[in-house]
């Protein structure tokens, strides 16, 4: 009994000296953050993508009936626009996008050109089939539209493959964007920090996407997995030479997911927890690195850098590595987010 | 029946006894078998549920079959990975033998099979190490030697074992010792400045749960993590002793239930709370256990002739060794400099549960003879769970480095070294470098010796 009395006494003592029942922060509302990220970031980002896809779709249909150089240039430009818009959506592989593995469906790169050519020649393909996982989506369009693109004008089969892919991607975009509307309410009430909650899902996807950014979009082409032997052909947007622009949009998508656009986001959540890194606010350290990486990539030409001067990219790659640590180690740890389902001992 | 006293404090030790006699009178005093019977039934049943849960969660697939490689325990590198179907067979053996334990059917064989299959599966991959798995292995090993099937069991009904109403006191006390040990060591581990002064990691974990009904509001208060930390430490340190004393037992057991249900609700700690809630019933009196068993199963038909068990030197010695080992082994981290929560040398098998928030990121590089490097993408080789554990545990880093060396050499890379850039955060402090990135980890040999390439933790 005495132990229990002592315990109660200690509790009272601690409550008294630590500010009692003062909330740590009464302003932060996880549900409001999720609501904001869904409504003001995810939905508009999808909408922009679908809009650009519709433009690409109608331009491609015109090319089908009117195969001219002028129309090809129009399609090329609306493709780049649509590809960029997709890149900002890529991070949101949760809910309806996760159900269909959206990333692999619409943007597996580099594309398997031999398989693309085989499909065009045979005219018999299922774009959702496992065999064509590397021969569909934006990467295949990049190849068709920018590698010996004049053959599109003379070869109706190529134009058909182009249009089939555009239609396929457009359908994914329309579906996911529609389904998000009904998923939104489920998304915003799932405020648990456990695995499977929206916060955990977002933190996971921000990390997964950022690692793809680091490895697939920059590291692998830069030779980081091949003993320094560069592989420019593995760049996203290799044929259109738009890799840096695509990477920038991808980065913008990730940063918007983190900040919740201009509204409530993980930056505010971390601030409410007073999370710091080496004396500065963690949210600021993260945003500084995002901004620095973006300015490094702005106007860069990844293809020519990798082909002629790969060491130019070491600075930005180094910053990317620093940001991985903050996003993958510091952020989840501060938020107390669980990322796996299995039982744990708390370490 | 007068054997349901608290012998612990009222043992009729005569002053003329020598140490050996004293020891024997404590260990071999006949006491009611009833608590042991309850323990057997609950342990078997909870194990059965655990196995079914594990299986139905798809974890046999995701934890044992899907991973490309498995991390081994130091000293148990010989534990071989199994063919896919063999994992299901092993879990089948565990499920059946746990029922065998519960019903006391082919009890001894069941206990042996359960201990072996469960322990082997745990030794497959250190990624999934949990203190309560270690507890289950220890208890099931001990149970092999307990006559827990001598009453209210299938074995006894079919005459495979002679019915007994009493057993030697050690058979129950060893289980109590095991439980006291878990709590007290868990309590000692909480006696550090992070836990007591900074309320870490609860100050991170509790506010993260502020969406929960009722408690969520409390979790927003600044004082709450302190109250929970201190209450948790005091609970662990003292509850086993309140369980030992008859006067405080009921209240202490209520605390056991409340505490474990709370942790089950708040954290992903699986079956541990239920194991403890079930196992701590062993502290209750023989009368308590006889009472519920009679209500549920009727009076025991067999005669209650006391089967006197003579003192056995081998049993005494084994118990002494087990006790000494278990008291000493969790303290082995004291042999290492620095913060054991940081370097994790001597950390496992020490009943340190829910004590730290730790996360890391490990970027491995394989270097060839010309000094060119391959950056490793961990997800190419490891599951999410494996990567998470490897990124904060140095012995796993060595194993991973050696795996990478072998893997890339097989692929034709002349490997001169494997290096790691690791950043770890501990209890919410900013991430910092964890290992010396100039050390070739593939060349390291895991041992009891301090791993000097782990960078010190400075707070």
Backbone angles phi, psi at A100, to 5 degrees: -110, 10
Mean pLDDT, rounded, of chain A: 91
Domain containing residue A145: 25-335
Which one of B357, B372, B375 has the shortest CB-CB distance to A336? B357
Which one of B130, B227, B431 has the shortest CB-CB distance to A14? B227
- How far is B35 from B142, CA to CA, in rounded Å? 15
Query: Residue range B441-457: average pLDDT?
Result: 96
B137-171 b/e with 16+ CB inside 10 Å = b? bbbbbbbbebbbbbbbbbbbeeeebebbbbbbbbb
Residue A18 has pLDDT above 50, yes or no: no
- How far is B368 from A37, CA to CA, in rounded Å? 45
CB contact (8 A) between residue B205 and residue A338: no
Contact indicator for A333, A203 with CB cutoff of 8 Å: no
Contact indicator for B124, B137 with CB cutoff of 8 Å: no
How many residues does this entry show for chain A? 347
User: From residue B21, how far is each of A61, B1, B26 by CA, in Å?
Assistant: 98, 24, 9
What's the gap in Å between the CA of A112 and the closest CA on chain B?
20
What is residue A342's predicted lDDT score, i.e. its pLDDT?
65
- How far is A218 from A215, CA to CA, in rounded Å? 6
Backbone angles phi, psi at A231, to 5 degrees: -135, 70
Cβ pairs bridging A and B (under 8 Å): 164
Contact indicator for A142, A149 with CB cutoff of 8 Å: no
What is residue B3's predicted lDDT score, i.e. its pLDDT?
43
Query: Bridge-partner residues for B364, per DSSP?
Result: B420
What's the gap in Å between the CA of A173 and the closest CA on chain B?
28
- How far is A215 from A324, CA to CA, in rounded Å? 11
- How far is A218 from B370, CA to CA, in rounded Å? 23
Nearest partner of A92 among A104, A102, A106, judged by Cα = A102
User: From residue A264, how far is each of A249, A327, B2 by CA, in Å?
Assistant: 21, 18, 68
Domains in chain B: boundaries? 28-166, 169-269+311-356, 357-443
What is residue B29's predicted lDDT score, i.e. its pLDDT?
93
What is residue B4's predicted lDDT score, i.e. its pLDDT?
46
In a domain, A99, yes or no: yes
- How far is B99 from B49, CA to CA, in rounded Å? 10
Share of chain B above pLDDT 90, in %: 84
In a domain, A223, yes or no: yes
Query: Residue B213 class from Cβ within 10 Å (0-12 exposed, 13-18 middle, 19+ buried)?
Result: exposed
Query: Residue range A299-307: average pLDDT?
Result: 96
Instruction: Give the tens place of pLDDT for each residue, B108-125.
Output: 999 999 999 999 999 999
Nearest partner of A342 among B273, B88, B120, B385, judged by Cα = B385
Share of chain A above pLDDT 70, in %: 90
In a domain, A55, yes or no: yes
In this prediction, residue A85 has a pLDDT band, given cuts at 50, 70 and 90, of very high
With beta carbons under 8 A apart, name residues in chain B contacting A206: none
Residue B214 has pLDDT above 70, yes or no: yes
In a domain, A346, yes or no: no
In this prediction, residue B305 has a pLDDT band, given cuts at 50, 70 and 90, of low
- How far is A125 from B387, CA to CA, in rounded Å? 38
CB contact (8 A) between residue A345 and residue B248: no
In this prediction, residue A24 has a pLDDT band, given cuts at 50, 70 and 90, of low
What's the gap in Å between the CA of B228 and the closest CA on chain A?
9
Using only the alpha carbons of chain A, give its radius of gyration: 23
In a domain, A342, yes or no: no
B373-375 and B358-368 strand pairing: antiparallel
The lowest-confidence range among A116-130, B33-47, B105-119 is A116-130
Instruction: Give the tens place of pLDDT for each residue, B69-88.
Output: 999 999 999 999 999 999 99
Strands (E), B278-412: 358-368, 373-375
What's the gap in Å between the CA of A117 and the closest CA on chain B?
29
Q: In sequence order, which ranges of B267-312 are alpha helices (DSSP H)?
A: 272-279, 286-297
Mean pLDDT, rounded, of chain B: 92
Distance of CA B295 to the CA centre of its chain: 33
- How far is A334 from B429, CA to CA, in rounded Å? 9
- Encoded tokens for B397: 């880093």
With beta carbons under 8 A apart, name residues in chain A contacting B248: 1
CB contact (8 A) between residue A26 and residue B220: yes
Which ipTM was obtained for this model? Answer: 0.88
Residue B5 has pLDDT above 50, yes or no: no
CB contact (8 A) between residue A336 and residue B205: yes
Residue B420 has pLDDT above 50, yes or no: yes
Nearest partner of B349 among B334, B331, B330, judged by Cα = B330
In this prediction, residue B19 has a pLDDT band, given cuts at 50, 70 and 90, of confident
Query: Bridge-partner residues for B373, per DSSP?
Result: B367
Q: For residue B298, what is the enclosing H or E element?
A: none
Which one of B208, B359, B372 has the shortest CB-CB distance to A193? B208
What's the gap in Å between the CA of A187 and the closest CA on chain B?
14
With beta carbons under 8 A apart, name residues in chain B contacting A103: none
User: Which CATH number covers residue A249?
Assistant: 1.20.1420.20
Residue A31 has pLDDT above 70, yes or no: yes
Which one of A18, A321, A345 has the shortest CB-CB distance to B226? A18
Number of domains, chain A: 1
């Amino acid at each position: 009994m005495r132990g229990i009395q002592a315990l109660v006494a200690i509790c009272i003592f601690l409550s008294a000296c630590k500010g009692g029942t003062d909330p740590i922060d009464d302003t932060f509302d996880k549900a409001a953050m999720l609501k904001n990220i869904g409504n003001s970031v995810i939905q508009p980002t999808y909408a922009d993508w679908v809009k650009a896809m519709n433009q690409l779709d109608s331009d491609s249909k015109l090319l089908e009936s009117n195969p001219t150089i002028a129309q090809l240039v129009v399609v090329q430009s609306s493709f780049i626009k649509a590809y960029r818009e997709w890149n900002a959506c890529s991070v949101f592989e949760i809910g309806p996008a996760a159900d269909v593995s959206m990333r692999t469906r619409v943007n597996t790169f580099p594309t398997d050109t031999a398989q693309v050519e085989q499909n065009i020649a045979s005219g018999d393909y299922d774009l959702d089939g496992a065999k064509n996982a590397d021969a569909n989506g934006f990467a295949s369009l990049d190849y068709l539209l920018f590698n010996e693109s004049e053959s599109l004008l003379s070869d109706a089969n190529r134009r058909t493959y182009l249009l089939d892919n555009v239609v396929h991607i457009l359908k994914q975009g329309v579906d996911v964007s529609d389904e998000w509307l009904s998923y939104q309410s489920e998304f915003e009430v799932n405020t648990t920090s456990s695995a499977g909650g929206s916060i955990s899902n977002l933190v996971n996807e921000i990390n997964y996407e950022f690692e793809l950014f680091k490895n697939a979009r920059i590291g692998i082409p830069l030779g980081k997995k091949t003993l320094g032997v560069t592989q420019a052909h593995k760049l996203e947007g290799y044929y259109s030479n738009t890799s840096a622009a695509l990477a920038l949009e991808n980065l913008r998508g990730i940063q918007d997911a983190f900040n919740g656009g201009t509204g409530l986001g993980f930056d505010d959540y971390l601030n409410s927890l007073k999370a710091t890194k080496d004396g500065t606010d963690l949210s600021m350290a993260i945003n500084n690195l995002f901004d620095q990486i973006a300015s490094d990539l702005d106007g860069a030409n990844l293809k020519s850098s990798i082909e002629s001067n790969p060491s130019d990219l070491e600075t930005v790659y180094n910053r990317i590595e620093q940001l991985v640590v903050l996003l993958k180690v510091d952020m989840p740890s501060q938020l107390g987010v669980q990322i796996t389902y299995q039982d744990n001992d708390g370490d | 029946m007068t054997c349901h006293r608290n012998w612990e404090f009222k043992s009729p030790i005569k002053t003329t006894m020598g140490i050996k006699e004293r020891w024997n009178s404590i260990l071999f005093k006949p006491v009611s078998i009833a608590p042991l019977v309850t323990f057997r039934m609950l342990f078997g049943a909870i194990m059965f549920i655990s196995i079914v849960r594990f299986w139905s969660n798809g974890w046999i697939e995701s934890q044992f079959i899907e991973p490309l490689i498995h991390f081994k325990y130091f000293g148990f590198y010989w534990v071989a990975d199994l063919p896919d179907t063999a994992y299901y067979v092993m879990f089948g053996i565990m499920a059946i033998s746990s029922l065998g334990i519960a019903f006391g059917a082919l009890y001894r064989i069941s206990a042996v099979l359960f201990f072996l299959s469960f322990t082997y599966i745990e030794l497959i991959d250190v990624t999934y190490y949990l203190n309560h798995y270690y507890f289950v292995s220890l208890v099931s090993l001990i149970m092999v030697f307990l006559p827990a099937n001598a009453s209210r069991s299938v074995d006894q009904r079919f005459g495979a074992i002679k019915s007994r109403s009493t057993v030697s006191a050690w058979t129950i006390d060893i289980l109590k010792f095991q439980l006291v040990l878990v709590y007290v060591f868990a309590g000692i581990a909480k006696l550090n400045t992070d836990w007591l002064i900074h309320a870490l990691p609860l100050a991170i974990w509790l506010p993260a749960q502020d969406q929960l009904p009722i408690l969520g509001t409390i979790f927003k208060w600044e004082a709450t993590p302190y109250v929970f930390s201190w209450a948790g430490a005091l609970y662990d340190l003292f509850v086993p002793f309140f369980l030992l004393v008859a006067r405080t037992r009921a209240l202490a057991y209520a605390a056991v239930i409340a505490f474990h249900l709370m942790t089950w609700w708040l954290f992903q700690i699986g079956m541990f709370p239920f194991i403890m809630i079930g196992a701590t019933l062993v502290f209750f009196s023989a009368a308590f256990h006889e009472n519920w068993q009679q209500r549920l199963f009727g009076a025991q038909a067999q005669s209650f002739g006391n089967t006197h068990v003579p003192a056995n030197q081998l049993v005494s010695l084994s118990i002494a060794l087990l006790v000494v080992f278990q008291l000493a082994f969790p303290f082995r981290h004291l042999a290492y400099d620095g913060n054991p929560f940081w370097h994790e040398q001597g950390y496992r098998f020490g009943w340190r549960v829910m004590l730290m928030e730790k996360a890391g990121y490990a970027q491995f590089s394989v270097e060839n003879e010309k000094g060119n490097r391959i950056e490793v993408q961990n997800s190419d080789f490891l599951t999410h769970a494996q990567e998470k554990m490897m990124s904060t545990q140095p012995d796993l880093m060595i194993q991973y480095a050696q795996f990478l060396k072998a893997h890339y050499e097989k692929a034709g890379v002349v490997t001169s070294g494997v290096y790691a850039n690791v950043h770890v955060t501990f209890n919410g402090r900013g991430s910092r470098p964890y290992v010396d990135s100039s050390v070739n980890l593939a060349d390291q040999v895991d041992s009891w010796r301090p791993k000097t390439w782990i960078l010190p933790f400075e707070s």
